[in-house]
């Protein structure tokens, strides 16, 4: 009699092997992603710390150049990335200097307060720190004859002290002429607009020709009586409104200057 072969038992749990392999691969994939993320975080942190140190120390740390793919001395690795397409090139063209940063104006105000103490006490000069910059108000009565745009020689010592401070600063300068509301009509000036602009120009020429303030730093504006700082219905108020303001422009004020809107 033939012996019956025992029936083999079918394994219904073989799918667990494939599932376990899939879970293992998926876990490995996420481990790789996590490790990559941690590496990027560490690199970003290193860049952030190096930038912060550079801002505090006033120079670009070599570590930043290394991380970003460049070198300070133009000979290390990554110069192509550091300098952009075209290979290694000097960061600044020979003969062209980088524009110096704008100076903080609070220390400048303290220096001017000390240098012009006498004029401020007499009321011929006013200092005011605004968001747009440090405003140096020169009262027209102390600097110009009535209805004229010629600077009085008696004002030269004051302007010499002022120019000594201006020449130490890199900031742009705005020379703004102002008048009172009393109309003017002379053979030379037919309106307050012309007088205010002419006084700004006269101050610009004197600062440049006599005291060496660079022309490219200065701009002139004539406001006539549109920017009054006191009521025009009293002699004292009109005297305050007749002035030339020299504005040492701040970083915020530079946003309103031509060519600076995108900076």
Asked whether residue 10 carries a pLDDT value surpassing 70, the answer given is no
In angstroms, the CA 194 to CA 177 distance is: 10
Buried/exposed 198-232: b ≥16 CB within 10 Å, e otherwise: bbbebbbebbbeebebeeebbbbebbbbeebeeee
Angle of helix 156-166 relative to helix 105-115, nearest 10 degrees, comes to 150
Mention every residue, 6+ apart, whose C-beta is less than 8 A from residue 53.
Answer: 61
Q: Where are the beta strands (DSSP E) in the chain?
A: 125-130, 133-139, 173-178, 218-222, 243-249
Q: What percent of the chain has pLDDT over 90?
A: 54
Q: For 44-54, what is the mean pLDDT?
A: 59
Average pLDDT, whole number, for the chain?
A: 78
Q: For 65-84, what is the mean pLDDT?
A: 43
Contact 180, 242 (CB under 8 A): yes
- Residue 121 burial by Cβ neighbours in a 10 Å radius (0-12, 13-18, 19+): exposed
**Could you tell me how many residues make up the chain?**
263
**Strand 133-139 versus strand 218-222 pairing type:** unpaired
Q: For 110-121, what is the mean pLDDT?
A: 94
DSSP lists the bridge partners of residue 221 as 176
- Residue 197 burial by Cβ neighbours in a 10 Å radius (0-12, 13-18, 19+): buried
Q: What is the pTM of this model?
A: 0.60
Could you state, in order of their start, the residue ranges of all structural domains in the chain? 16-83, 105-256
Fold annotation for 105-256:
60s Ribosomal Protein L30; Chain: A; (3.30.1330)
Q: For 199-207, what is the mean pLDDT?
A: 97
Contact 64, 53 (CB under 8 A): no
Tokens of 255: 């946003």
Tokens of 56: 């505090």
Coil, strand, or helix at residue 253?
A: helix
């Amino acid at each position: 009699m033939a012996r019956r072969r025992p029936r083999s038992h079918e394994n219904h749990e073989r799918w667990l092997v494939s599932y376990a392999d899939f879970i293992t691969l998926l876990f490995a994939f996420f481990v790789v992603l996590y490790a990559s993320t941690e590496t990027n975080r560490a690199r970003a942190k290193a860049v952030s710390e190096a930038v912060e140190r550079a801002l505090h120390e006033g120079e670009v740390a070599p570590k930043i150049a290394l991380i970003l793919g460049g070198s300070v001395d133009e000979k290390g690795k990554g110069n192509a990335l550091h300098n952009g397409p075209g290979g290694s090139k000097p960061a600044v063209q020979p003969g062209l200097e980088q524009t110096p940063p704008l100076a903080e104006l609070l220390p400048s105000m303290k220096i001017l307060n000390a240098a012009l103490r006498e004029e401020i006490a007499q009321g011929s000069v006013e200092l005011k720190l605004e968001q747009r910059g440090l405003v140096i108000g020169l009262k027209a009565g102390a600097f110009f004859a009535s209805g004229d745009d010629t600077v009085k020689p008696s004002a030269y010592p004051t302007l010499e002290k002022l120019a000594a401070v201006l020449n130490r600063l890199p900031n742009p300068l705005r020379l703004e002429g102002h008048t009172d509301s009393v109309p003017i009509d002379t053979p030379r000036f037919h309106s307050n607009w012309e007088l205010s602009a002419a006084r700004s120009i006269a101050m610009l020429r004197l600062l440049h020709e006599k005291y060496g303030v660079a022309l490219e730093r200065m701009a002139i504006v004539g406001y006539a009586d549109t920017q009054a700082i006191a009521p025009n219905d009293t002699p004292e108020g009109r005297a305050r409104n007749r002035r030339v303001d020299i504005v040492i422009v701040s970083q915020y004020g530079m946003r309103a200057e031509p060519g600076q809107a995108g900076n």
